């Protein structure tokens, strides 16, 4: 595990100053949709600030536009559904079914515990029916650490959910992919660290979960805690926000830039606004066309093109995706 090196910077270098060329999109192949902020959990590290008291979610109008977008653009290969708990928010099943009907892979970013809430017990079987790729948060394989980040009892519920998915073939059959996500513990002092090396940590996860719970899964993704949402608030309360950004900048790896998720995806919020990534969405940094106008799903449909973004919008938290081995919704980049 990498630990903090001495940083003498008094400020954080603007991210775009680190780049040797204009930061532009490649062809868009991933459509990530945040269906809303409704969630049955309120995790301490949640960059969306989702929770049981949030009510914001996709509207029928925007859902119809997104279904049209999915049908209209065959270059979209992956529809990545997130939240909140995406399964709780309006439009989840219509978007799944539109994507599968057009031959696209569907990813659901699931907190696992949602299957035990009233009205959601059908989800695991529904996932099998539509061969949805499940990417599930399990920030540690130790119960105390998980419950500290996500709430009392979450680890036990997650274990039961993973065993349920295994019984249905997830993590075993090639078309039923079950991935887990690791997040580091939030720092309480200036001894910062990046996530451990992904391959080695995946081996440790697999050995522990198999031995103790007879759980198998496909891949482990390590994701850096970006200073956005509740993570940002946590750092600010402890006066660690700037020093954490400096730590991330000090570990900037230019080799990650080519592989960043924002290069080939667009992120859509529950209002239909377009962003370069989910983190920009949470920080209200919208994607813009060559005229500097912000984009919406309806504008993409009207233009009959996904390639309207002139340059990817950046901020200091982009150092979280480019530190060390890199970080993305699909784990380490290198």
Interval 50-90: pLDDT, tens? 899 999 999 999 999 999 999 999 999 999 999 999 999 99
For residue 262, give the DSSP letter.
Answer: G
Look at residue 119 and tell me whether its pLDDT is greater than 70: yes
What are the tens digits of pLDDT across the range 193-242?
A: 999 999 999 999 999 999 999 999 999 999 999 999 999 999 999 999 99
For the residues 172-194, what does the mean pLDDT come to?
Answer: 94
pLDDT at 9: 41
Domains and CATH numbers, the chain: 26-225+267-311 (3.20.20.70)
- pLDDT band at residue 147, thresholds of 50, 70 and 90? confident
Predicted pLDDT at 42: 86
Question: How large is the average pLDDT for residues 294-321?
Answer: 97
Rounded CA separation 41/20 (Å): 41
> What residues form DSSP beta bridges with 296?
273
pLDDT in tens, 245-259: 999 999 999 999 999
CA distances (Å), 18 to each of 12, 14, 162, 316, in order?
11, 7, 41, 11
Give the residue-averaged pLDDT of 160-173: 98
Among 69-73, 135-139, 201-205, 312-316, where is mean pLDDT lowest?
A: 135-139
Q: What is the pLDDT of residue 49?
A: 83
pTM of the predicted model as reported, rounded to 2 decimal places: 0.94
Q: 186 with 225: CB under 8 angstroms? A: yes
In 238-296, alpha helices (H): 241-250, 278-282
Average of per-residue pLDDT across 169-193: 95
User: Which tens digits make up the pLDDT trace of 10-35?
Assistant: 589 999 999 989 999 999 999 999 99
Decide if pLDDT at 44 tops 90.
no
């Amino acid at each position: 595990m990498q630990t903090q090196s001495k940083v003498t910077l008094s400020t954080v270098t603007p991210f775009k100053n680190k780049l040797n060329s204009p930061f532009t999109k490649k062809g868009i192949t991933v459509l990530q949709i945040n269906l809303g902020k409704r969630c049955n959990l309120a995790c301490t590290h949640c960059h969306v600030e989702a929770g049981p008291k949030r009510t914001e979610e996709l509207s029928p109008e925007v859902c119809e536009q997104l279904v049209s977008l999915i049908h209209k653009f065959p270059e979209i290969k992956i529809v990545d559904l997130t939240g909140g708990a995406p399964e709780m928010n309006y439009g989840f099943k219509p978007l799944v079914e539109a994507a599968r009907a057009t031959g696209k892979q569907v990813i659901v970013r699931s907190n696992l515990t949602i299957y035990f809430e009233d009205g959601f017990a059908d989800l695991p079987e529904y996932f099998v029916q539509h061969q949805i790729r499940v990417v599930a948060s399990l920030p540690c394989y130790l119960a105390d650490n998980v419950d500290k980040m996500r709430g009392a009892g979450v680890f036990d519920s997650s274990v039961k959910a993973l065993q349920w998915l295994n019984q249905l073939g997830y993590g075993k059959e090639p078309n039923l992919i079950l991935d887990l996500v690791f997040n580091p513990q939030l720092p309480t002092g200036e001894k910062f660290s990046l996530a451990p090396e992904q391959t080695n940590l995946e081996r440790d996860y697999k050995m522990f979960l198999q031995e103790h719970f007879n759980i198998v899964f496909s891949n482990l993704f390590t994701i850096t805690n970006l200073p956005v949402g509740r993570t940002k608030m946590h750092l600010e309360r402890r006066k660690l926000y700037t020093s954490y950004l400096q730590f991330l900048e000090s570990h900037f790896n230019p080799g990650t830039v080519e592989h960043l998720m924002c290069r080939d995806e667009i992120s859509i919020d529950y209002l239909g606004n377009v962003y370069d990534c989910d983190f920009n969405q949470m920080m209200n940094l919208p994607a813009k066309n060559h005229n500097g106008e912000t984009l919406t799903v309806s504008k993409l449909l009207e233009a009959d093109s996904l390639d309207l973004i002139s340059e990817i919008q950046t901020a200091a938290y982009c150092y979280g995706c480019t530190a060390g081995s890199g970080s993305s919704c699909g784990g380490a980049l290198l």
